[in-house]
């Protein structure tokens, strides 16, 4: 892939999608559907930047792809290079974030969007669009991960890399945006086929609907509160911390977490984290985090064994 935006139309014989898969997608979304994927410098839209943006669009009159590397204007951390293989040298002559957003929005045509763990991809897009004062698309957002949990409950887990292997979905370059977007679309198409067979009332599709892009409010203050700034470094290093949260069953008491991402959401920005009390991944509203503190050695000895990064 070179460093220019690629905007390509294919015809109905696009080799990655079967005619049955295209038919399933257009049966559910007769005007068209788009799968989108991003590669980024990290997991937090409020801190990190996109370095690759790609999408595949299926409409009744054809199939299109959009693909571009993005210059983030910051150094790409080695731990993310180890995942996607995208280096500073590869993106140095690529378009900037603000230059890829308008062509991408035009490409979307307000059609429904699908992503695997869609709140991360759309979080990056919403925050970037707000930062550069672009209007948000009116697209509905669906999650192939949520859909796969209903359609294929017996798979080992619902990571994209696992699902493509167990469901024999072609994926040549995992963690490159266009390849992952195509795999995501095929996964959703196959989930729809299961839905048409077993789900008379369409509840699986309803379950996979996350929110609408228009639900984000670009005028909302996306800044991380000053009292939470120190969490950024802990998040990057995957350190365990305590937070005191003004809500939930452990209201106003410190709870142990492993922070994963600062994430913009339609209802306001959240800290997405592995809560070690419940052993669940949860979204904690930034407005409701009263304070945080580091763990001492005794805390770590108790909680670290419960914080497996394999979850």
pLDDT digits (tens, 9 = 90+) for 122-177: 999 999 998 898 988 999 999 999 999 999 999 999 999 999 999 999 998 999 99
- 252: tokens are 């106003």
Spatial strand order of the sheet with 254-263 comes to: 280-285, 270-275, 254-263, 241-245, 289-294
Q: In this model, does residue 2 exceed pLDDT 50?
A: no
- 76: tokens are 């790409």
* Three-class secondary structure of residue 34 per DSSP: strand
Q: Over the stretch 46-97, which tens digit does the pLDDT of each residue have?
A: 889 999 999 999 999 999 999 999 999 999 999 999 999 999 999 999 999 9
What gap in Å lies between CA 134 and CA 131, rounded to an integer?
A: 8
Number of H helices, E strands in the chain: 11, 12
The reply to whether CATH 1.10.10.410 applies to domain 6-215 is no
Residue 4 main-chain phi, psi, to 5 deg:
-105, 160
Q: Over the stretch 235-282, which tens digit does the pLDDT of each residue have?
A: 988 899 999 999 988 999 999 999 999 999 988 899 999 999 999 999
The C-alpha angle 37, 41, 43, rounded to 5 degrees, equals 70
* Helix, strand, coil abundance in the chain, percent, nearest 5: 35, 25, 40
E strand or H helix at 263? strand 254-263
Q: In this model, does residue 232 exceed pLDDT 80?
A: yes
Strand 241-245 versus strand 209-212 pairing type: unpaired
* Three-class secondary structure of residue 300 per DSSP: helix
Comparing C-alpha atoms, which of 1, 183, 186 is closest to residue 91? 1
Comparing C-alpha atoms, which of 89, 82, 96 is closest to residue 42? 82
What gap in Å lies between CA 169 and CA 3, rounded to an integer?
A: 28
Q: How many CB atoms lie within 10 A of CB 197?
A: 9
Q: In this model, does residue 310 exceed pLDDT 80?
A: no
Comparing C-alpha atoms, which of 226, 229, 227, 231 is closest to residue 242? 231
Residue 239 main-chain phi, psi, to 5 deg:
-80, 150
pLDDT at 220: 53
Decide whether 6-215 matches 226-306 in CATH topology.
no
Query: Could you say which of 2.30.30, 2.60.40, 2.60.420, 1.25.40 is the CATH number of the domain covering 226-306?
Result: 2.30.30
Q: Over the stretch 215-231, which tens digit does the pLDDT of each residue have?
A: 987 545 577 889 999 99
What gap in Å lies between CA 281 and CA 120, rounded to an integer?
A: 14
pLDDT at 8: 56
What gap in Å lies between CA 162 and CA 155, rounded to an integer?
A: 8
Contact predicate 290/226, CB 8 Å: no
Domains of the chain, residue spans: 6-215, 226-306
């Amino acid at each position: 892939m070179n460093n220019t935006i690629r905007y390509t139309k294919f015809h109905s014989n696009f080799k990655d999608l079967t005619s049955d898969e295209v038919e399933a997608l257009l049966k559910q979304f007769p005007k068209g559907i788009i799968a989108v994927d991003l590669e980024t410098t990290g997991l937090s839209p409020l801190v990190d930047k996109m370095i690759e943006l790609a999408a595949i669009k299926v409409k009744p009159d054809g199939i299109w792809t959009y693909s571009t590397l993005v210059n983030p204007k910051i150094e790409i951390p080695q731990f993310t290079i180890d995942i996607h293989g995208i280096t500073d040298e590869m993106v140095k002559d690529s378009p900037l974030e603000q230059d890829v957003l308008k062509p991408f929005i035009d490409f979307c045509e307000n059609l429904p969007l699908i992503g695997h763990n869609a709140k991360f991809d759309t979080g990056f897009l919403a925050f970037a669009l707000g930062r550069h004062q672009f209007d948000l698309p009116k697209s509905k957002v669906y999650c192939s991960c949520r859909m796969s949990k209903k359609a294929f409950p017996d798979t080992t887990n619902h990571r994209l890399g696992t699902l493509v292997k167990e469901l024999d979905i072609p994926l040549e370059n995992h963690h490159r945006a266009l390849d992952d977007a195509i795999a995501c679309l095929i996964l959703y198409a196959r989930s729809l086929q299961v839905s048409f067979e077993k789900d008379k009332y369409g509840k699986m599709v309803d379950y996979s609907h996350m929110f609408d892009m228009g639900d984000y409010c670009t005028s909302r203050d996306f800044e991380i509160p000053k009292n939470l700034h120190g969490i950024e470094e802990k998040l990057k290093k995957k350190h365990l911390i305590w937070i005191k949260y003004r809500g939930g069953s452990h209201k106003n008491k410190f709870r142990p977490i492993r922070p994963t991402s600062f994430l913009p959401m339609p209802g306001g920005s959240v800290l997405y984290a592995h809560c070690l009390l419940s052993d669940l991944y949860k979204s904690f509203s930034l407005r409701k985090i009263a304070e945080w503190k580091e763990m001492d050695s005794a805390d770590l000895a108790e909680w670290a064994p419960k914080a497996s990064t394999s979850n």
